[in-house]
Amino acid sequence: MLLNCVRIGVAGAGVFGGYHAAKYASHTSSELVAIFDPDGARAQSLAEKYNATAFGDLDEFLQHVDAVIVTTPATVHFDVAGPALRAGRHVFIEKPITLEAAQADELIGSANAQDLVLQVGHQERYVFDAVGLLARGKVPNKIDCVRCGPPSGRCEDVSVVFDLMVHDIDLVRELTGADIQHVTADGTASEVSAEMVLENGAIVSMKASRQADRRERRMSLVYDDGIIEFDFVNRTLKNSTPAVLGEVFDLDNAPLALRDPLEFGAHAFLQAIQEGGKPLISGEAGRDAISWAVRIEEAAGILPNASRAPERMTA
C-alpha cells in the first residue's frame, strides 16, 4: 500500500537521531510521530522538540509508525531493524547496516519478502553521483583514501573500520565494481591502515583514524587519463582528466545531494516508499560494504565488533 504521508519513527535519540528527526519533521511527505530510546529522558527530550510521542518499548513504538529511521549504535542496528521489518515497517538504517553479513542478509530477506524499502545511509555516495563521477565509465587504477579526525566519544562500540572507513569502502566498491583479491592491514580499534589489491588489478590504500590531531577527509583517484582528488572537508575537487566535473562544490548553487546529503537521502527514502520504487542505496550494498570491513578487521587483528557490547542504545 502506497502512503500519501509517511508516519516516521526515529529509533535512537542521540546526535544522529536528532539530525534525522529534523529532516523528517520538516518534510511535506512525512510526519515525525514517534521517538524510541530505552533512555526515557532522552527520548522525551527529542520527542517534545517535534511534538512527537516518546517510547521506551520497541514493540509499542512500532505500532505507531509506517517507517523507522535506525540511528542507534551499530551494535544494535540488527536488534532494532529486524523487529521493524518483521512488523511490516520500512527501514532506513544508518551505516553500517549491521556488523555481520548473515545479519544483513536476514534484514534483506525480510524486506524483500514483504516488499518493504530497506535503505542504508552511505551518504558520501550521493556526492560522488551528483558530480558525475559514478557515471564516468572508467575505473581508477589506484585509489588512496584518508578519513581521520580527533576523538569524538561517539561510535566507540565499533572499530574505526565500521565507523569511518566504511564510507570509503562503499565508494571504492561502487567506483570499481570489483572485490578484494588480497588485503593487508594493521592498527587498532581507533586507527587502521589497509592496503588492497582488487580482482581487477586496482590498488587501494585506506587510512581511518579517530585519534588524529585534525579532521581530514580526502580521496585520490588515479586513472589512465589523469587524476581526480576530492577534499570532503573543504568541499574542493581537482581534476586533470577529460571528465567534465565541477572544480568546487558551490553550495549556493549545488544540487541537494551536495548541499545537504542527509536531506537528499531522506527525500529518496520517502520517494521509494510512496512510489513503490527501489531504495537509493540498498541493503545489498550495505552488506557488501561490511563484508570488506570484516576482512580488513581480520587482517589487522582487531577484536570483532560483535564482541563489543554498547554501553547504551543511543548513538
C-alpha count within 13 angstroms, C-beta hemisphere, residue 146: 13
* Whole-number pLDDT of residue 313: 52
The pLDDT value given to residue 151: 86
Four-CA torsion 255, 287, 37, 46, nearest 10 degrees: 0
Q: Is 25 domain-assigned?
A: yes
Q: Give the per-residue pLDDT at 249.
A: 59
In a domain, 234, yes or no: yes
Q: Are residues 134 and 118 in the same domain?
A: no
Is 119 within the bounds of a domain? yes
Q: Is 179 helix (H, G, I), strand (E, B) or coil?
A: coil
- The CATH number assigned to the domain holding 75 equals 3.40.50.720
In a domain, 67, yes or no: yes
Write the CB contacts of 258 (distance below 8 Å, at least 6 apart in sequence). Answer: 126, 127, 130, 131, 249, 251
* pLDDT of res. 196: 98
In a domain, residue 140? The reply is yes
DSSP state of 156: T
Cell 570488506, located at residue: 292
DSSP structural state of residue 180: E
- Domain membership of residue 287 (yes or no) is no
DSSP state letter for 39: S
SS3 of residue 18 by DSSP = helix
pTM: 0.93
Long-range contacts of 176-181 (CB under 8 A, 24+ apart): 176/139, 176/140, 176/143, 176/200, 176/202, 176/204, 177/139, 178/139, 178/202, 180/292, 180/295
The rounded distance, in Å, linking the Cα atoms of 116 and 125 is 22
Domain for residue 286, yes or no?
Answer: no
Give residue 272's domain range. Answer: 6-123+263-280
Q: Flag residues of the chain having pLDDT under 50.
A: 306-312
Q: What pLDDT, on the 0 to 100 scale, is given for residue 306?
A: 43
Residues 14 and 71 in one domain: yes
pLDDT tens readout for residues 66-79: 999 999 999 999 99
Tens of pLDDT, residue by residue over 159-190, are 999 999 999 999 999 999 999 999 999 999 99
